[in-house]
A and B are shown apart, each in its own frame.
Chain A
Amino acid sequence: MNEKHVIQSVRKVTKNLLNKYAILAVILCSFGLASAQNSVGKISGKVLSEKDGEPLIGVSILVKGSNVGTVTDFNGAFTLQAKTGETLSVSYIGYTAQTVKIAGMNLTIKLSEDNKNLEEVVVVGYSSTQRKNLASSVAVINSKDLTNLTTTNVLQSLQGKIAGVQVTNNSGDPGSGAQIVIRGVGSFMDSSPLFVIDGIAGGDINSVSPQDIQSISVLKDAATAAIYGASAANGVVIITTKSGVKGAIKVNYEGSYGISNVAKKISMLNASQYVDLVADIQKNNGSALTDYLKSPDARIDRTNWQDAIFRTAPITEHSLRLSGGNESVKYSFSAGYVDQKSIIIDSKFKRINFGTKLSEDLFKSRLKLGQSIRISSTETDGNTASFYDALNMPPYLAIYNPSVLGGYARADKVIDLNDANNPFASVYLSPKTDRGLHAEMDLNAEVVILDGLSFKSQARIKTGNSHSQTFNYPVQAGNNTRSKSTMTESYSYNYDFTLENFFTYNKNFNIHSISLTAGNSYQPSGYSRSVSLAGSDFTSDAIQNIVLANTKSITGESVNGGASKLSYFGRVGYTYDNKYIFNATLRRDASSVFGANNRWGNFYGLGAAWSISKEDFMKSISAIDDLKLRISYGKTGNDKIGMFLTGSTVWKGDSNNLIYSLGDIDGTYVNGATIYSLPNPDLKWEETNQFDLGFDLSLTKGVKIVFDYFNRDNKDLLLLTQLPTSTGLGKPGSTPVLQVNGASMKNTGVEMAVTVNGDINKFKWDATVNATYATNNVYGLGTIGNTPIDNGNSRTDIGHPLSSYYGYKVDHVAIDQADVDKLNAIAVSKGFTEYQSGLKPGDRIWQDTDGNGKIDDKDRTYIGDPAPKFQYGITLNGEYKGFDLQVMLQGVAGVDLANSTRGTFEGMARPFNSFSSVLNRWKKPGDISTLPAAGQDAGNNTMFSDWYIEKGDYLRVKNIAFGYTLPSSAFKYGKLRAYIALQNVLTFTKYSGYDPEVSASDNSASGYITSRGNDNLQHPNPKIYRIGLQLNF
């Protein structure tokens, strides 16, 4: 992944040092202080690229042996005072320097590209380095790979791009986030990586518009990531935004319009089939149908609720960037706009991004200043209909019913036996708006103290506001009756500050090259405030503002900021003859979430690499252009747990609502207070010890291979260990837990990326394939008694992957009484009264996995793993005479999903509409079916079992982009490209749900880990068809 853009901008910065004499000359000139030599004339000229004859902007030109110099302007032209016969030295980043003897008054100089020097530069945290000097596993994605993608979220654009990095969308809704896992989940609490934006850790990825990204580096192993010690255990994602480059103003515009819709619908029962199902459920529970359900009216199909809530939704995007600069100041201004509707009625997402990035070189480049601001404003209007409600609704109900309060038809538990909420009522009678404004402001300054030694100070202020409001009209839907309008609002504000200072020193002594970094980082707790308000009793609905509610109350508030952190770090790098590369990193971190005794943690990374292809004995192997072996080991940490767990805090209920009604006046609430948790003053850092062994291989035939083996050993993992209920601890209704360090697990795997490129006549193509095979194994729990950790359908235990599915195994559905009797006879022979409690024909028979002759809780077993063992991505690019094609495929394999929708829509526990698969349910003795009798002992028949588990493997054609760029002859002002892009158009999978790309039923950091792969009607990713235009001039 050679990255010219990165290289050029980075090199430009470093090269500025080398060019200081030239710059000095310019500065002197501009102050009119250049020494005047009467005998000289004015020389003018132009510098062009030898390859394409394009003018080169900002080329340094110096009269040898003098202080006279200049740089080329926006047309590649220059003028300076010199004599014929003098020599000019001409240098430009990425091009071979030339010396030119002045032969006339008007010169044309052609520079050729210097491929040898065009080494990939990689940002590794507090500094950047050339890839050849890297001893660890770092993947880089550049802006070229990020374009053509219809993603409004930066994380989504990484999907399938990098070996070892798995990205899963939380939902198909616009504006929703994504989960990113680097080399497996390495924590029980929070496995999200650290985000570093423009050199400062802890930025919000949503503040960056995807179009503003120059490059993304992912630090996967400990050797490089350890510089971020405490926060780096789950990898580091470094985002560099686009900067202005010296030259005339550049304008980049991109606009697109598209439509999206759902890729798949699932067949549901029609009205008649539904009523038959309800009749069956009732009969098997010894109950009857209601009068209405017996009537022919209930057999008339009125609404296909799936069709009713899905729609074709438009998406519009625009982005505009202006950039440029001169010798001392560079600028980039950008604006982005996204307007996208959800494919499920009826929400609309809008986002506006603004970005400003300025940099100044002062005092002969001895002082460099930088400022940037990133602002994102989001607005989500309206609700997204509940999928769940829609599928539950009886098909005979119309959407509207004017006689029902609110105007939407209502499923009534007494009449319909079904109390699903009409999804339309929730969508249209509770209009909702969420707004957010997020801003990040970065300031930095770097001073060059000595040649090679510099000091940089960088600060970031991050602040955000959000507001959300919902107005609820009177409604009757399902069980919910609201006779008067109500309103809720919430406001939040947060402010965070980061300050980092560090020295860097880079020096080459002959064949020795040394680089040093040392500094500190300071991140105070910040502020965070939020308040939720509820209002009711509106005199009129004409104005929907909470100030007009006659009754108002505060229903929630929070006041604390995040953890505060203090860190010191250092790195030493040494390279001998570009062959032997060593680096060592040390970081000492403190976090306020831990008690005073365990507050500090020490982390380190060690890396070594051997550029074996530079050895003489390899020179003879002509097929190998470059081969480097890498080895690294290091320790990183994680502190992502709740705050104040080391002390005992007072519990007054969430938002102070621990109350009881004492007193003889009805409706009086008296406040109470108690505690619900045990403090653990001994909490300490989680540790991840990672070993990485890999190689980078370039073959002369344009093939590049990067291979890594990794072993991440996660120790002292923080976990919520389950305490016995009998302790009386814990929140109401919840099982008590205690935060402890204890668990340990390993993520082991291999990953490989192969890039091939070629050029057949004028057809240029490249292909990149990346693949990862990884496994997870928990080897210690350290909980009280080492008991497994249960989270609903998953269990974490020693010897199994994290959060493995745990449940019963289905044997078959009991065919008839003889089938049942046979099993009971076996149970009786083993001393039990029956095989399975209350087993009747038509019930699911569970497997007696422990073979004791009887079904009980101990027959539950491990039935699947939600983490993919294998994941891959394929990117193909082709270019021919102005046409370009990009195809991106992405897939996972060896993954199990828990299709929880089956419990609801194939469970037949209650009279809700169901998948049409239930037509094949067991109905009478002798039936052989995979689905049990409707309603019969549903509690038992819908217990979590391998019936829910499905293979979640898929291969998806994530993106196809086909574009055409007008030749410069037709459009001479710049570059104009039109394209068509298709996203998620084709998915190969055996998964029966809406979308095999399932993240979790709970997408919070810890919820993702415990409920991963649990498809509880996650909104499917839409198919998107777009046309767009790119214009650069």
Chain B
Amino acid sequence: MKNKIIILFLTIFALASCSEDVLNVKNETSYDASTYFTNATTLTEASTAMYAPLLFQGMFEREGYYIFDLLGNDADKNTPLAGGLLTFQNYTFSPTTDEVRLHFNSCCKMVFRANFTIDALSKWQPTASADIALKVRLTGEAEFIKSLANFWLVTCYGDVPLKKTLADHYILQQGRTPKAEIWADIETNLIDAVSKLPLAQDYSASDYGRASKGAAVALLGKAYLYQKKYTDAQTQFLSLTKAPYQYELAPSLDDIFIRDTKTKETLFAVMHGAWQGWGVGNAYAMFGGQEQWGAVTTHTGRAQEYGFLDWWNVLVSQALVNAYKYKDETNNDYVDPRAKLTYYSNLVQGGDTSYYDATSVGKQSYPQKIKTGEISWRKYEIYEVKQSSGNPDSYINTQLIRYADVLLMLAECYIENNQVSSALPLINQVRKRSSAFEYTTLGDQTQARAILRHERQIELAGEQLRFFDLVRWGTLKQTINAEKGTQAVQDKHLLLPIPQIERDANPVLDKQVKDNWN
């Protein structure tokens, strides 16, 4: 018996001293990246992931529209606006303002995901012709996304550590790269992207929303424009008005900003989908839920955040409202018809006076706000077509580059190149769509420039472009301070501050930051 027991125990002991294989625990939750990104399906996933940061915090589910609408004084604070967002209204944000960090963070993540995709694609050696074509296209998309993010980084933060390849992301402490080098990298990537990307019309319906050749051309043109390389920019923009491109203005701004129709005006937009209900996604994913809260959403909170039937955090700034009232060519007071498309107000202020027009509830007037004179956003709101649900469930795509913008940028190139007459039909083309009177002349270069700049303000209101325009025109400080009647904007505000969190973790860069700002 004793022997039996001893043998039994020694057997158990031997079993427990088993091989070290037990220590090789297989990850059953996540794939191994080194073997995963090796086929058409997974590399397409890698490319889709590059677009996802457009929905992150700091981007267009939330902070992105607030930051730049407030900085450009398109939007003005309303009573409920509070916290970090309020600091963009009065230009008191700082290196520790969280919204700045989030914006910077999301831009950097886009660059990373693009470089990651390019790196994975470069290791893929497909043989099937469809795969070979896919590799070319996805590389082009990645170059576009990277350039878009770098465009925001260089325009908002100036010199940032430029990450050209995946390996650069593993340089943990990289100093600042001069702006010129970043612009050059944007140009190089976009020129390559243009050669690789298909035309918008050649994409399959299920790929709608991906970067196309036209988007890359437009962004390249924009990069030239922002560097004041007007001739190069003009070439790019002009090409978009011709075949093979098929861009055209939508019949009405409402098609884009209210009805969310997939028009031929869009060159590149952030794709928002309608919220699918609590069972699928958290309606408030815009507060940091993207890729985190175990739910899927791509909608934007903008309609609820700005909407007067909802949170009503911001109003339309008085400066913007004033911009819709100007003199026509006969020096008579004129209210631009786009006022009605952009905001709700009473009759005096030219805005739309009713809402719920196309809903089952029927037309409701916008009277209750008249006595306090508050003017509310209509552009990007759903109130014309859908009742407020009390949840942020706007599916209206965020336009990043649309054809009207391209036409106005082209017109600007002509004006800056002193070809004012070539700018006239372009400006009129945009105005005509909204039934604004057509100019017969733009006057001299200075007058034309003023008209063009005014046209951009009212056509592109609430599209997060005015801040960038004012900065590149060199008129931010004087314009905003005059509009607000304060001296809030200082010279440093031409750039956002480098986020403190970046400086804390990157002493090399920190030493290059001046005046605790940029």
> Any chain B CB within 8 A of the CB of A417?
yes
In the complex, per-residue mask of B431-472: 1 if CB is within 8 Å of any chain A CB, else 0: 000000000000000000000000000000000000000000
Residues of A within 8 A of B128 (CB): none
Interface with B: A23-31, A148-156, A669-677, which one?
A669-677
The CA of A738 and the CA of B170, in the complex, are separated in Å by: 11
A457-B13, A486-B278, A727-B108 known; A660-B501 Cβ under 8 A:
no
Candidates B24, B108, B294, B516; contact of A657 at CB < 8 Å: B294
Residues of A within 8 A of B311 (CB): 413-414, 419, 479
Interface with A: B191-199, B207-215, B354-362, which one?
B207-215
- A654 in contact with B294 (CB, 8 Å): yes
**Which residue of B has the minimal Cβ distance to A550?**
B279
- B84 in contact with A725 (CB, 8 Å): no
> Any chain B CB within 8 A of the CB of A591?
yes
A520-B16, A725-B101 known; A663-B208 Cβ under 8 A:
yes
Residues of A within 8 A of B31 (CB): 649-650, 673
In the complex, per-residue mask of A779-809: 1 if CB is within 8 Å of any chain B CB, else 0: 0000011011010000000000000000000
> Any chain B CB within 8 A of the CB of A346?
no
- B16 in contact with A522 (CB, 8 Å): yes
> Any chain A CB within 8 A of the CB of B42?
yes
- A524 in contact with B22 (CB, 8 Å): yes
- B20 in contact with A725 (CB, 8 Å): no
> Any chain A CB within 8 A of the CB of B225?
no
- B395 in contact with A666 (CB, 8 Å): yes
Residues of B within 8 A of A654 (CB): 291-294
Candidates B53, B84, B505, B516; contact of A856 at CB < 8 Å: B516
> Any chain B CB within 8 A of the CB of A555?
yes
In the complex, per-residue mask of B1-12: 1 if CB is within 8 Å of any chain A CB, else 0: 110011001001
**Which residue of A has the minimal Cβ distance to B94?**
A837
**Which residue of A has the minimal Cβ distance to B278?**
A486
Nearest CB on B from A723, distance (A): 6
- B109 in contact with A732 (CB, 8 Å): yes
> Any chain A CB within 8 A of the CB of B399?
no
Candidates B49, B104, B115, B279; contact of A658 at CB < 8 Å: B49
**Which residue of B has the minimal Cβ distance to A790?**
B504
Q: Which of A923-954 contact B (CB under 8 A)?
A: 937-940
In the complex, per-residue mask of A472-487: 1 if CB is within 8 Å of any chain B CB, else 0: 1000100101111010
The CA of A617 and the CA of B395, in the complex, are separated in Å by: 90
- A910 in contact with B82 (CB, 8 Å): yes
Q: Which of A321-355 contact B (CB under 8 A)?
A: none
**Which residue of A has the minimal Cβ distance to B5?**
A447
The CA of A1 and the CA of B116, in the complex, are separated in Å by: 63
- B112 in contact with A729 (CB, 8 Å): yes
A657-B296, A785-B173 known; A726-B55 Cβ under 8 A:
no
Nearest CB on A from B33, distance (A): 4
The CA of A649 and the CA of B205, in the complex, are separated in Å by: 32
Residues of B within 8 A of A838 (CB): 90, 92
A501-B13, A673-B42 known; A857-B113 Cβ under 8 A:
no
Interface with B: A559-567, A684-692, A698-706, A966-974, which one?
A559-567
> Any chain A CB within 8 A of the CB of B160?
yes
The CA of A41 and the CA of B506, in the complex, are separated in Å by: 95
The CA of A285 and the CA of B87, in the complex, are separated in Å by: 12
Candidates B90, B102, B112; contact of A733 at CB < 8 Å: B102
The CA of A824 and the CA of B505, in the complex, are separated in Å by: 31
Q: Which of A645-663 contact B (CB under 8 A)?
A: 647-655, 657-663
Residues of B within 8 A of A788 (CB): 504
Interface with A: B247-255, B269-277, B405-413, which one?
B269-277
> Any chain B CB within 8 A of the CB of A320?
no
Candidates A457, A666, A726, A837; contact of B160 at CB < 8 Å: A726
> Any chain A CB within 8 A of the CB of B349?
no
- B55 in contact with A553 (CB, 8 Å): no
Q: Which of B28-76 contact A (CB under 8 A)?
A: 28-34, 36-37, 42, 45-58
Number of residues on chain A facing chain B (CB within 8 A): 118
Residues of A within 8 A of B57 (CB): 732-733
- A666 in contact with B260 (CB, 8 Å): yes
The CA of A320 and the CA of B40, in the complex, are separated in Å by: 64
Interface centre among A287, A666, A678, A909 (most CB of B within 10 A): A666
- A669 in contact with B273 (CB, 8 Å): yes
Residues of A within 8 A of B50 (CB): 672, 674
- B279 in contact with A726 (CB, 8 Å): no
Q: Which of B87-104 contact A (CB under 8 A)?
A: 87, 90, 92, 94-97, 101-102, 104
**Which residue of B has the minimal Cβ distance to A662?**
B209
Interface with B: A193-201, A267-275, A531-539, which one?
A531-539
- B22 in contact with A661 (CB, 8 Å): no
Candidates B6, B27, B505; contact of A449 at CB < 8 Å: B6
Residues of A within 8 A of B90 (CB): 838
The CA of A130 and the CA of B243, in the complex, are separated in Å by: 94
The CA of A937 and the CA of B82, in the complex, are separated in Å by: 10
> Any chain B CB within 8 A of the CB of A643?
yes
The CA of A858 and the CA of B510, in the complex, are separated in Å by: 12
- A564 in contact with B292 (CB, 8 Å): no
Interface centre among A644, A673, A738 (most CB of B within 10 A): A673
A481-B389, A722-B504, A788-B504 known; A501-B16 Cβ under 8 A:
yes
The CA of A209 and the CA of B266, in the complex, are separated in Å by: 66
Q: Which of B285-305 contact A (CB under 8 A)?
A: 288, 290-296, 298
Candidates A290, A521, A725; contact of B105 at CB < 8 Å: A725
- A722 in contact with B505 (CB, 8 Å): yes
Nearest CB on A from B291, distance (A): 4
Nearest CB on A from B298, distance (A): 4
> Any chain B CB within 8 A of the CB of A728?
yes
Nearest CB on A from B75, distance (A): 15
Candidates A521, A675, A856; contact of B33 at CB < 8 Å: A675
> Any chain A CB within 8 A of the CB of B25?
yes
- A566 in contact with B271 (CB, 8 Å): no
Candidates B24, B169, B271; contact of A660 at CB < 8 Å: B271
A725-B108, A728-B163, A733-B102 known; A556-B294 Cβ under 8 A:
yes
A657-B294, A659-B52, A663-B206 known; A520-B505 Cβ under 8 A:
no
Residues of A within 8 A of B295 (CB): 534, 555, 655, 657
Residues of B within 8 A of A419 (CB): 80, 311
- B49 in contact with A661 (CB, 8 Å): no
> Any chain A CB within 8 A of the CB of B500?
yes
Nearest CB on B from A600, distance (A): 9
> Any chain A CB within 8 A of the CB of B348?
no
> Any chain A CB within 8 A of the CB of B416?
no
Q: Which of A580-595 contact B (CB under 8 A)?
A: 590-592
Residues of A within 8 A of B389 (CB): 481, 483
Nearest CB on A from B12, distance (A): 5
Nearest CB on A from B25, distance (A): 4
Residues of B within 8 A of A787 (CB): 504-505, 507
Candidates A484, A591, A647; contact of B32 at CB < 8 Å: A647
In the complex, per-residue mask of B101-124: 1 if CB is within 8 Å of any chain A CB, else 0: 110111011111101110000000
- If A663-B209, A670-B48, A790-B501 are given as contacts, then 10 extra A-B residue pairs at C-beta distance below 8 Å, sorted by A number, are A447-B9, A457-B12, A481-B389, A537-B279, A651-B30, A673-B31, A674-B49, A724-B174, A724-B509, A726-B108
Q: B residues touching A (Cβ–Cβ < 8 Å)?
A: 1-2, 5-6, 9, 12-13, 15-18, 20, 22-25, 27-34, 36-37, 42, 45-58, 78-80, 82-84, 86-87, 90, 92, 94-97, 101-102, 104-106, 108-113, 115-117, 160-161, 163, 169-174, 205-210, 260, 262, 271-274, 276-280, 284, 288, 290-296, 298, 311-312, 372, 389-391, 395, 499-502, 504-509, 516
Can you report 17 residue pairs joining A to B where beta carbons are below 8 Å apart? A457-B9, A520-B16, A521-B16, A534-B279, A561-B25, A649-B30, A655-B294, A657-B294, A659-B52, A662-B209, A668-B206, A722-B504, A727-B112, A727-B169, A732-B291, A733-B292, A909-B82
**Minimum-distance CB pairs A-B, first 9:** A728-B112, A481-B390, A536-B279, A672-B49, A672-B48, A724-B506, A653-B291, A661-B273, A673-B45
